[in-house]
Amino acid sequence: MPRRIVIIGAHAAGVDAASAARKTDRTAEITLITKQKQAGYSPCGIPFVLGRHIPSFDKLIVFPQSYFRMMKLNLMLETTATNIDTKNKTVEIRDKTGKQEKLQYDSLIIATGAYPFVPPIKGREKQGVYVLRTIEDGKKIDQAINNGAKTAIVMGAGLIGIETAVALQERGLRTTVVELLPQILPTMLDADMAKSVQEMLEQKGINIMVSKGVEEFLGTDRVTGIIAGGEQINADLIIAAFGVKPNTELAKKAGIAIGETRGIKTNIRMETNVKDVYAAGDCAECIHMVTQRPALSQLGTTAVRQAKVAGINAAGGYAVFPGVLGSAVTKLFDTEIGVTGLTEFFAKRAGLETITGTIASKTRPEYYPGGVSIKIKLVVEKETERIVGAQIVGGEQVTQRINALSFAIQKQMTVRDLAKADTAYAPPLNETWEPMVLAAEVALRKLR
């Protein structure tokens, strides 16, 4: 009898898990369940559709219906998983008509993702606060802009909040960002690096208010403004980007262990504490490679890597997930931002004593036209001299430098090793002295 694999969730983690399972077991019956009308799209692209860099939401569909047919995957759209019975190995589901049934499984993968949350702010019950998580959310915001919205407030200055604010500004809306913490991008950048990004955004016309909590939603039935830091701000379009929480209700109800990050606890094979039940993606906890502590990464790159491991193991193969560094990049207007490993702040919180090396350089020699600024910060553990984190803000070539520094951290490279790195140079492409090497030398001087 063929192996029955049920996957709850059909986006980055769900579809990649199904693909890996199919490649491992050609005969398995694989079923994917999603509440949404559309499966297999990239939510990371939504702000870039809003900013008109991508022409339509349809372009975000990575896996069309033909893919599921070709891979012999049974995709159930607009279907909700309501209960998991791990003893009898069944998943109860309900479709959009209300019809209920039970699916039997041999292996189960939970890829339920995360959901956007709004804190208990006065007036939260009012209509008209948008979130940005799904294509449907993106379409609603796009419709509001097309209907003539001229001003916007984005509450939260994390990655999604800032990308959305940039998109709205690009569409011609006067945009204000409100952030409770004293800096923008608090999980990505240290305050010194975030400051230069904030200044750039303000030069582009975005109004940024840090150290200001949202105290109240204003308006009668619909929200027309907020009070933040004692100040009233009105806007046509109000978006909550306070962050997301792992979607673990179904797992919790089934008695599956939840970890200290509030994600589903998994081991290196992405197995939960229940036999034959795996988890992957934004709902799943894993290990941070530097701290060796539980981490909740919630990045698309993490989701697909975890999913591949979960899919192979669910289909009877063997694979392990080594952990995360939280490597991430984005582009805001003409500025690229990247991070890998720990910031100075998070290193200190993990009990590591660090020093840093920061350098401002150019991407090409002064004499060659078109070179742009690049600023690199390395975070180095003082005792071992290991590189444990890096942040880069620049006009170009940020991604591959972040990737290189991610390799360096994974291989436990010391700052001394990096300072001796053999790097490439040509006037149209790079300086003779690679900026990463210069940052390493600055850090070394502090160590001496």
pLDDT above 90: residue 219:
yes
- Using CA atoms, how far residue 419 sits from 196, 365, 425, 442, in Å, is 25, 20, 16, 9
Distance between CA atoms of residues 132 and 160, nearest Å: 8
Residue 319 inside a domain? The answer is no
Q: For the chain, what is the mean pLDDT?
A: 97
Query: Does one domain contain both 259 and 236?
Result: no
Query: Does one domain contain both 269 and 308?
Result: yes
In this structure, the number of other CB atoms found within 10 A of the CB of residue 122 comes to: 12
Query: Does one domain contain both 264 and 218?
Result: no
Query: Does one domain contain both 56 and 137?
Result: no
Q: Mind listing the pLDDT tens digit for each residue in 304-325? A: 999 999 999 999 999 999 999 9
Distance between CA atoms of residues 36 and 43, nearest Å: 12
Residue 373 inside a domain? The answer is yes
Mean pLDDT of 160-164: 98
Query: Does one domain contain both 229 and 256?
Result: no
Number of structural domains in the chain:
3
Query: Does one domain contain both 249 and 238?
Result: no
Q: Is 395 exposed, middle or buried (0-12, 13-18, 19+ CB in 10 A)?
A: middle
Query: Does one domain contain both 196 and 267?
Result: no
Give percent of the chain with pLDDT exceeding 90: 99
Q: What is the pLDDT of residue 162?
A: 98
Distance between CA atoms of residues 347 and 12, nearest Å: 29
Q: What is the pLDDT of residue 93?
A: 98
Last residue of a domain, one of 221, 242, 263: 242
Which pLDDT band, with edges at 50, 70 and 90, does 127 fall under? very high
Write out the H or E segment, with its range, that includes residue 116.
strand 114-116
Residue 71 inside a domain? The answer is yes
Residue 278, SS3 per DSSP: strand
Residue 263 inside a domain? The answer is yes
Residue 437 inside a domain? The answer is yes
CATH number of the CATH domain containing 406: 3.50.50.60
Last residue of a domain, one of 242, 270, 286: 242
Query: Does one domain contain both 254 and 156?
Result: no
pLDDT above 90: residue 167:
yes
Q: Mind listing the pLDDT tens digit for each residue in 269-297? A: 999 999 999 999 999 999 999 999 999 99
pTM: 0.95
Of 23, 35, 44, 187, catalytic: 44
Residue 211 inside a domain? The answer is yes
Query: Does one domain contain both 232 and 137?
Result: yes
Last residue of a domain, one of 192, 217, 242: 242
Instruction: Decide if 283 is catalytic.
Output: no
Residue 35 inside a domain? The answer is yes
Alpha helices by DSSP H, listed for 272-351, are 300-314, 344-349
Query: Does one domain contain both 110 and 257?
Result: yes
Q: Mind listing the pLDDT tens digit for each residue in 395-447? A: 999 999 999 999 999 999 999 999 999 999 999 999 999 999 999 999 999 99
Query: Does one domain contain both 253 and 234?
Result: no
Query: Does one domain contain both 80 and 64?
Result: yes
Residue 320 inside a domain? The answer is no
Q: Which two tokens stand for residue 397?
A: 């070539």
Which pLDDT band, with edges at 50, 70 and 90, does 448 fall under? confident
Q: Mind listing the pLDDT tens digit for each residue in 47-94? A: 999 999 999 999 999 999 999 999 999 999 999 999 999 999 999 999
One-letter amino acid of 219: G
Domain that holds residue 249: 4-114+245-314
Q: Mind listing the pLDDT tens digit for each residue in 349-381? A: 999 999 999 999 999 999 999 999 999 999 999
Q: Any idea which residue has 């490439």 for tokens? A: 424
